[in-house]
Amino acid sequence: MIKTAHGTIRREAANAKEELALLQTLKVGDVRRSMLFPALEVGMEWTCTEATPVLWKFDGTFFGQRVLTATIRLTVDELLLDVENL
């Protein structure tokens, strides 16, 4: 069963600005260990699988096992995060 979680953060928030600055440097294949929302950090690695000016997709692995996918989208007002459990 696939479960989806959603989150949003206002684009003008300080942590959204920091996240956007990081996202804009990512290329497909880059790996990061933290995500916009701290609950998705512990034991996780996030590999960028798609990077455009307004959309970033990641495969999340937990100690090498793929368990989540995440999509971050940029809108005029917000950063939107969608996480799916595989």
**pLDDT tens-digit profile of 17-74?**
988 998 999 999 999 887 655 556 667 888 999 999 999 999 999 888 998 899 999 9
Cα 53 from chain centre:
14
User: Is the pTM of the predicted complex or chain greater than 0.75?
Assistant: yes
Neighbour order of strands in the sheet with 78-85: 3-10, 78-85, 65-74, 55-62, 44-51, 31-32
Q: Which fold has domain 3-85?
A: Double Stranded RNA Binding Domain (3.30.160)
CA distance 20 to 43: 23
pLDDT band at 75 (very low <50, low <70, confident <90, very high): very high
